[in-house]
Amino acid sequence: MTTLYRCLDLLLEHKAALFTHLTDKWKDLFNAKFRGVLYDLTSTYFESAPPFAEGDKRRFGYSRTSV
């Protein structure tokens, strides 16, 4: 995952062209009309001491910081 994040710096110089391409594709595929695009790159996880009980929904998932 760290390698992927390092590559993002290389994409920066192509940001405008990439954004234009993706928005044009979205408009073409879905006949979409929009003023802006929002995206979320976050994730949520829980930590607990002592650990959560077996079957507790908070046991599922992962931390991006530990991947």
Residue 4 pLDDT greater than 70, yes or no = yes
Enter the pTM of the model. Answer: 0.46
Residue 34 pLDDT greater than 60, yes or no = yes
CB neighbours of residue 58 within 10 Å: 13
In angstroms, the CA 62 to CA 46 distance is 9
Mean pLDDT across the stretch 60-64? Answer: 59
pLDDT digits (tens, 9 = 90+) for 35-50: 877 777 666 666 667 7
Residue 59 pLDDT greater than 80, yes or no = no
Residue 67 pLDDT greater than 60, yes or no = no
Separation in Å, CA 1 to CA 5, 8, 10, 63: 7, 11, 15, 12
The count of C-alpha atoms lying within 13 angstroms of the C-alpha of 29, restricted to the half-sphere facing its C-beta, is 6
Residue 18 contacts by C-beta under 8 Å, 6 or more apart in sequence?
11
